[in-house]
């Protein structure tokens, strides 16, 4: 006859049902106490060492800084890897501890007649995850990772320019390489220039690169550009959702105010109103216009030159660019006046967009 031990001083706290529950677990040799002690030790260690300065990619806290590889594989730092593993284990344990509590409660309220198999399965899942990262929570983490990032954005020549970038989540842009452009100031040794890429086989616009000075700035008013229809141009009207009503603009890579280039198909992309000029109604600023304005004001004020490069980036053979990489650096003062490297999303709040074709519809979830 098995004996159910009761701690001294607990009195009526241990009811007949409680004794039945403990007897149930003892009979099946399930060592819940050992499992929970292991969980507490792991959580305490992670709480002490694993949470410092960790960024959760699905939590938006302003423009993020993304390091890009320019097509080369980069090893993840060992510290960063350890932190990510620690966070994963902690989340797995926390989630499964809650699950154990719920199942134990349900068990006690049904007289131990249901869910004992589920309890054993959940315990096994916790142990598996702590040991080697398997089980349901690891699948969930992978899904979040996939949803939180976009991978392998390419230029029109097929070069991977950004290996991984946060998916659009409401912020108009993110910072690349700590805001340091990958430009060679010696390119400006011969003065102002403008270089545009030929459209690729899909009719997509490629990189535009220029050295801009006062001599580059236009004197005439901008003309019509409506005859140009860049790749992915499927225009629709969203009154009350998009400022100006129409979703797409013909966006200049090198702004007209900087280059005098107007209806040049090699300098125009299909871009959302938000990409082009931000979204004042939702206080989502910093579209391309923000960086263009900073640049032209600097040139007008100082008379200096600026190296300026804009690269539309695509996912495989999508017709619509996912966004543009904008880089600029002032020449005469070695970047003290103008220096930025950003990625601006080709997105529009309230509208769902297919980058494969440019097709779009009202986002019913917004």
pLDDT tens, residue by residue, 184-212: 999 999 999 999 999 999 999 999 999 99
Answer for the pair 89, 96: CB distance below 8 angstroms, yes or no. Answer: no
Token couple for 80: 């960063």
Residue with tokens 């134990």: 104
- pLDDT of 350 above 50: yes
Question: DSSP secondary-structure letter at 165?
Answer: E
pLDDT of residue 220: 87
pLDDT tens, residue by residue, 140-160: 333 333 468 898 999 999 999
Mean pLDDT score of the chain? 75
Answer for the pair 142, 32: CB distance below 8 angstroms, yes or no. Answer: no
Q: Residue 7: which residues within 8 A CB-CB, separation 6 or more?
A: none
Q: Which residue has the higher pLDDT, 366 or 326?
A: 326
Handedness of CA 244, 250, 252, 257 (dihedral sign): negative
Token couple for 220: 């005439």
Alpha-carbon span 68 to 280, nearest angstrom: 29
Binned at pLDDT 50, 70 and 90, residue 91 comes out as low
Answer for the pair 328, 340: CB distance below 8 angstroms, yes or no. Answer: yes
Token couple for 38: 């292991």
- pLDDT of 46 above 60: no
Q: Residue 294: which residues within 8 A CB-CB, separation 6 or more?
A: 338
Binned at pLDDT 50, 70 and 90, residue 66 comes out as confident
Alpha-carbon span 52 to 15, nearest angstrom: 44
Largest Cα separation within the chain, whole Å, is 100
pLDDT of residue 80: 45
- pLDDT of 169 above 80: yes
Q: Comparing C-alpha atoms, which of 258, 114, 279, 116 is closest to residue 192? A: 258
Answer for the pair 351, 238: CB distance below 8 angstroms, yes or no. Answer: yes
Considering 38-47, 147-156, 307-316, the range whose residues carry the highest mean pLDDT is 307-316
Alpha-carbon span 194 to 196, nearest angstrom: 7
User: What integer is the mean pLDDT of 323-337?
Assistant: 98
- The secondary structure of 138-151 as a DSSP string is HHHHHHHHHHHEEE
Q: Which residue has the higher pLDDT, 149 or 63?
A: 149
Answer for the pair 242, 285: CB distance below 8 angstroms, yes or no. Answer: no
Binned at pLDDT 50, 70 and 90, residue 317 comes out as very high
């Amino acid at each position: 006859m098995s004996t159910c031990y009761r701690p001294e001083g607990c009195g009526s706290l241990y009811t007949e049902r409680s004794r039945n529950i403990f007897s149930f677990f003892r009979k099946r040799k399930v060592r819940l106490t050992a499992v929970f002690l292991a969980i507490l030790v792991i959580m305490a260690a992670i709480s002490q060492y694993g949470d410092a300065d960790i960024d959760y990619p699905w939590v938006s806290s302003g423009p993020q800084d993304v390091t890009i590889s320019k097509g080369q594989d980069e090893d993840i730092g060992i510290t960063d890897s350890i932190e990510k593993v620690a966070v994963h284990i902690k989340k797995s344990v926390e989630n499964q501890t809650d699950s154990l509590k719920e199942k134990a409660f349900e068990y006690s309220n049904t007289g131990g007649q249901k869910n004992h198999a589920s309890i054993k399965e959940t315990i096994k899942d916790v142990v598996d995850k702590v040991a080697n990262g398997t089980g349901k929570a690891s699948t969930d983490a992978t899904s979040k990772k996939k949803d939180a990032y976009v991978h392998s954005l390419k230029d029109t020549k097929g070069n991977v320019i950004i290996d991984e970038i946060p998916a659009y989540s409401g912020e108009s842009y993110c910072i690349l390489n700590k805001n340091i452009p990958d430009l060679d100031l010696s390119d400006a040794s011969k003065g102002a220039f403008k270089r545009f890429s030929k459209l690729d086989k899909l009719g997509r616009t490629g990189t535009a690169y220029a050295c801009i000075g006062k001599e580059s700035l236009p004197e005439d008013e901008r003309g019509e550009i409506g005859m140009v229809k860049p790749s992915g141009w499927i225009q629709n009207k969203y009154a009350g959702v998009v400022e100006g009503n129409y979703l797409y603009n013909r966006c200049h890579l090198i702004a007209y105010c900087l280059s005098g280039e107007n209806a040049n198909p090699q300098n125009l992309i299909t871009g959302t109103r938000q990409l082009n000029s931000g979204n004042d109604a939702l206080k989502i600023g910093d579209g391309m216009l923000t960086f263009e304005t900073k640049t032209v004001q600097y040139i007008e004020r100082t008379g200096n030159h600026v190296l300026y490069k804009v690269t539309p980036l695509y996912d495989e053979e999508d017709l619509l660019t996912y966004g543009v990489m904008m880089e600029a650096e002032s020449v005469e003062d070695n970047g003290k006046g103008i220096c930025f490297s950003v990625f601006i999303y080709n997105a529009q709040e309230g509208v769902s967009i297919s980058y494969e074709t440019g097709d779009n519809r009202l986002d019913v979830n917004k």
